[in-house]
Each structure stands twice: as structure tokens, then as C-alpha cells.
């Protein structure tokens, strides 16, 4: 049996511990020497780059749909702090730095989140849907990923979108952030919007791009280890010239691994292997 953390044994201390972590989390960003983006511009920059959208509502969570409605409420609060945000040369984008105090006027509602390895409801739950989308958009730019955390588990299937297996970004205020740095001479701008069913993410620039980036999966493997099934997915990136379409760079970005908490489609091959996940 896994050893319980101190705050799991003494749950009344958890809120104090969280406030402490959040305080030092933001103090760390104040003193880490990074120049964090914080300027919102209402007008879009002239050149539209990559765009993607994903469904906001998921009917396969096993929880009442009110938590999906609550999640959409939370997404829109956070998006108001992100839509139009400029990431200028030399600046670093931090999700939490950008959306801090998004709920100051209107509080977040209870949404789904994983706490201590279990899917439950918490205030502000569901914000990872924005960071998942932003990370997918960022992978189609030359922005440098400074911090990204994959989800350790998928407890329910995601609605269909153009994002690949292994492309996600878990965020927990005080613990996990999504950060990218602009090491180019181009200004990038985040745009987020909503239609009736989707959240839409776009990236704009102030200069006409010389390259486009394609992101694809390499090998995807499902592996059973004792009583759990794990997804292992390679994520690859290809850079293409806008002038002639030729590939000028190709690399594997990372290999993602997470536990699958739902039944895979019938006929999906699963490799059997004894032992615990590494």
C-alpha cells in the first residue's frame, strides 16, 4: 500500500498547505528572472497561424452533466484572461500567471479534476481543457516549451478532435503549470473563442511565417501491466517551408505515458507484460 502524504492523514491541514504552495509558486515566478507575458490586445495580429477546436461537453464521464456546464463556466472565466494575450520576443507565457484572479469577480464552479489519483469534483475543475488546447496549438509554433506535465491517467474517453494521442497538459495551481518561451523575433498572440459546442484556439503573429509545423503520432502502444492498461504514444514534429513545402526539420518531441481508466475499443491490441509501471 502506498504511503499516505501528511495532508492525507491530516486532511484539515490541506487548505493551509495549498495556500502555502500557491504563495511560493507565484513568489518563485516573481524572482526567477523570466519576463512573463501579460499584455492583452483586442485586435488580432495580421497573420493567422494554426487553429483548432474541441468539444466542451463530454457525456462519457460518469458524472452528472451539471459538472460539464460548470466546466464551461470555468473555461470562459479563464479564457477572458487569455484571449488576445501577446507573447512578445523574450517573454514567457505561464498559464497560471495569466489566469490568476480570473475568478475574483465571478467564482469558479465545481468541475471534474483528479485529486490524489481519484476523479472527483473541485472548484475550478476542468481548466485542463484550455491547457490541452493551448499546448496543441503551441506545438505548431517555434515557441519553446519550458514546462508541461502530461496527465498521469485518462479516466474517461475524450470527445473527438484533431488533437493527437499523448498531447495534453495537466495544470494544478501551486504544483503544475504550462509555460512556453518566445525565443524568436516574432510576436505571437493567443485567441480563444467559443461557439455553442466548442472552444476554439488560434495563434496569430505579427510577421508572415516562413515555416509551418506539423505534429503527428509515431508509435502508439497499449500495454497491460498487472491490473492497469497504459498508453504509450510518441509525438513527432515536422517543420515545412512555406515557400516550397519541403521538410526542413523532423524530430520526436517526447514519448507520453498515461494510465487508461476506461475500456478500450473492442479489438484494440494490448501488449501483456508483468510487473509494475516504471
- Does some domain include residue 28? no
Decide: 45 and 205 in contact? Cβ < 8 Å.
yes
d(CA 174, CA 245): 42
Looking at the predicted structure, is the pLDDT value of residue 249 above 60? yes
Grid cell digits, residue 133: 488546447
Instruction: Give per-residue pLDDT as tens, 59-93.
Output: 999 999 999 999 999 999 999 999 999 999 999 99
Q: Supply the pLDDT for residue 2.
A: 52
Rounded CA separation 58/159 (Å): 6
Which pLDDT value is given to residue 278?
41
Q: Which residues, in sequence order, are CB contacts of 96 under 8 Å at separation 6+? A: 25, 26, 171, 173, 177
Q: Do the beta carbons of residue 100 and residue 26 sit within 8 Å?
A: yes
Q: What is the arithmetic mean of pLDDT over 244-272? A: 93
**pLDDT of residue 7 exceeding 70:** no
Mean pLDDT calculated for residue range 251-259:
96
Per-residue pLDDT reduced to its tens digit, 93-150: 999 999 999 999 999 999 999 887 788 999 999 999 999 999 999 999 999 999 999 9
pLDDT of residue 3: 58
Residue 228 lies in a domain: no
pLDDT classification of 234: cutoffs 50, 70, 90: very high
pLDDT attached to residue 18: 82
Residue 90 lies in a domain: yes
pLDDT, one tens digit per residue, over 21-43 is 999 999 999 999 999 999 999 99
Q: Yes or no: say if 159 and 123 are a contact pair by the CB < 8 Å rule.
A: no
pLDDT, position 26: 95
Residue 222 included in any domain: no
Tell me the three cell numbers of residue 177: 503549470
The answer as to whether 177 is a domain residue is yes
- Range of the structural domain that residue 178 is part of: 34-208
Asked if the model's pLDDT at residue 275 lies above 50, the reply is: no
Position 76 in a domain = yes
Strands 188-194 and 86-87: antiparallel
Where do we find the cell 505571437?
188
pLDDT in tens, 143-202: 999 999 999 999 998 888 888 999 999 999 999 999 999 999 999 999 999 999 999 999
Q: What is the pLDDT of residue 273?
A: 72
Q: Does the residue 216 lie in any domain?
A: no
Q: Count of domains in the chain? A: 1
Continuous segment of H or E residues that includes residue 249 = strand 247-260
* Pairing label, strands 110-115, 91-94: unpaired
Residue 157, judged by CB atoms within 10 A of its CB (0-12, 13-18, 19+), counts as middle
DSSP state of 11: G
| Higher-pLDDT residue of 270, 160 | 270
Amino acid at each position: 500500500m502506498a504511503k499516505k502524504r501528511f495532508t492525507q492523514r491530516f486532511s484539515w491541514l490541506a487548505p493551509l498547505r495549498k495556500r502555502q504552495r500557491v504563495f511560493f509558486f507565484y513568489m518563485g515566478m516573481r524572482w526567477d528572472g523570466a519576463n512573463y507575458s501579460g499584455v492583452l490586445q483586442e485586435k488580432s495580429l495580421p497573420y493567422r497561424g494554426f487553429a483548432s477546436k474541441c468539444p466542451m461537453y463530454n457525456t462519457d464521464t460518469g458524472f452528472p452533466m451539471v459538472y460539464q456546464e460548470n466546466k464551461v463556466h470555468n473555461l470562459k472565466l479563464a479564457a477572458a484572461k487569455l484571449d488576445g494575450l501577446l507573447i512578445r520576443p523574450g517573454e514567457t507565457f505561464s498559464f497560471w500567471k495569466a489566469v490568476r484572479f480570473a475568478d475574483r469577480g465571478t467564482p469558479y464552479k465545481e468541475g471534474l479534476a483528479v485529486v490524489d489519483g481519484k476523479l472527483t469534483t473541485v472548484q475550478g475543475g476542468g481548466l485542463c481543457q484550455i491547457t490541452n488546447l493551448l499546448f496543441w496549438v503551441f506545438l505548431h509554433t517555434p515557441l519553446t516549451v519550458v514546462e508541461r506535465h502530461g496527465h498521469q491517467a485518462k479516466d474517461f474517453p475524450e470527445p473527438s478532435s484533431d488533437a493527437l494521442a499523448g498531447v495534453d497538459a495537466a495544470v494544478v495551481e501551486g504544483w503544475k503549470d504550462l509555460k512556453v518561451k518566445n525565443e524568436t523575433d516574432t510576436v505571437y498572440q493567443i485567441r480563444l473563442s467559443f461557439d455553442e459546442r466548442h472552444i476554439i484556439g488560434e495563434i496569430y503573429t505579427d510577421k508572415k511565417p516562413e515555416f509551418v509545423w506539423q505534429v503527428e503520432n509515431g508509435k502508439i502502444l497499449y500495454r497491460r501491466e498487472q491490473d492497469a492498461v497504459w498508453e504509450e504514444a510518441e509525438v513527432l514534429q515536422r517543420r515545412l517551408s512555406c515557400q516550397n513545402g519541403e521538410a526542413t526539420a523532423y524530430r520526436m518531441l517526447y514519448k507520453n505515458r498515461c494510465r487508461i481508466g476506461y475500456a478500450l475499443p473492442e479489438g484494440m491490441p494490448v501488449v501483456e507484460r508483468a510487473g509494475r509501471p516504471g
